[in-house]
C-alpha cells in the first residue's frame, strides 16, 4: 500500500506517525463496530466560513471580541456559547443567531470523500449527533449535498449538549447499540470529550483544523482513503484503499 495513502492518517498530537504505526492501529486492523456516530460541522461538512461570518456579526453587535467568540463556539450548542459570554435574553439571541446561520450557508461543502463513505454504510448503522438545531442541520446537510440518516440527534433532542455524552448515548440507543460498541467521528474538543464520556471509541477528523490537534485519538485528514466493510458478523470494519492520485 502506498505510503501516501497511509500518511493521510495524522499524528497523535504533533508527532508524525510512521505508516507501519498506522497499520498497527487496532482501529484499522483489530476492531469492528456496531455503528458509526458522526458529528456534523467539521466532521461531515465544512461550515466554518458561514459560522464565522454569522458569529462575528453577532459578537460585534454585542461589543465582544469576535475572534475570541469564534474560538469558543465550535462543537457546542449556540445557547451555551451565548451564556458563556454573558449576553442576556439567551433564548431569543439563540433563535436569531440560528436563523442567521440558516439564511447563510454559502460555502458549506462536504468533507472530501464523505459522500462515498456514507453511501456504503447500512442505513441502520450510522447516525449524526450535532449541536446544531434540527432546521440548521437540515439546511447545511442539503447545502453540502448529503442525505441525513434515519437517526439525527440535534440540539433540541438533549437536555445537556456536548461535552455531556447525552447525544451520543441517545443515538446509540436509537440504533439499538451500546455506545461502547460504537465509533464516534468528531472534530472539536467538546465533541471528543462527549464521545469519551459516552464510552465510545473516537476518530478525529482534521479537515478543517488549521493546526494539528493534540489528542490521543487517531486523526484523519478526510475520508478519501478510507473504506468500510461488513465482517462475517455483520459489523463495520475500517480499512484503507489505494489512491494513486493522492499526494
Catalytic residues, by residue number, are 39, 41
**190 — alpha (psi -120 to 50), left (phi > 0) or beta?**
alpha
d(CA 125, CA 235): 9
Strands 226-230 and 109-110: unpaired
**What is the separation of C-alpha 216 from the centre of its chain, rounded to a whole number of angstroms?**
17
What letters, b where the CB count within 10 A reaches 16 and e where it falls short, cover 60-86? eeeebebeebbeebbbbbbbbbbeebe
d(CA 192, CA 6): 23
d(CA 105, CA 88): 26
Q: How far is CA 210 from CA 42, 165, 192, 206, 246, in A?
A: 12, 26, 17, 8, 20
Amino acid at each position: 500500500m502506498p505510503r501516501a495513502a497511509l500518511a493521510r492518517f495524522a499524528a497523535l498530537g504533533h508527532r508524525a506517525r510512521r505508516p507501519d504505526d498506522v497499520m498497527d492501529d487496532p482501529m484499522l486492523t483489530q476492531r469492528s463496530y456496531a455503528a458509526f456516530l458522526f458529528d456534523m460541522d467539521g466532521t461531515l461538512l465544512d461550515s466554518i466560513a458561514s459560522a464565522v461570518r454569522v458569529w462575528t456579526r453577532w459578537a460585534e453587535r454585542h461589543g465582544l471580541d469576535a475572534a475570541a467568540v469564534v474560538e469558543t463556539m465550535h462543537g457546542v450548542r449556540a445557547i451555551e456559547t451565548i451564556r458563556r459570554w454573558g449576553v442576556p435574553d439567551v433564548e431569543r439571541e439563540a433563535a436569531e443567531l440560528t436563523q442567521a446561520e440558516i439564511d447563510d450557508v454559502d460555502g458549506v461543502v462536504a468533507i472530501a470523500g464523505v459522500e462515498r463513505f456514507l453511501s456504503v454504510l447500512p442505513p441502520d448503522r450510522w447516525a449524526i449527533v450535532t449541536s446544531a438545531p434540527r432546521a440548521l442541520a437540515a439546511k447545511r446537510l442539503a447545502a453540502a449535498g448529503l442525505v441525513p440518516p434515519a437517526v439525527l440527534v440535534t440540539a433540541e433532542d438533549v437536555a445537556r449538549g456536548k461535552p455531556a455524552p447525552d447525544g451520543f448515548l441517545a443515538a446509540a440507543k436509537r440504533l439499538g447499540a451500546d455506545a461502547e460498541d460504537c465509533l464516534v467521528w468528531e472534530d472539536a474538543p467538546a465533541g471528543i470529550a462527549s464521545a469519551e464520556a459516552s464510552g465510545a471509541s473516537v476518530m478525529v477528523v482534521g479537515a478543517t483544523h488549521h493546526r494539528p490537534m493534540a489528542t490521543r485519538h487517531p486523526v484523519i485528514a478526510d475520508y478519501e482513503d478510507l473504506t468500510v466493510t461488513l465482517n462475517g458478523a455483520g459489523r463495520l470494519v475500517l480499512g484503507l484503499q489505494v489512491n494513486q492520485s493522492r499526494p
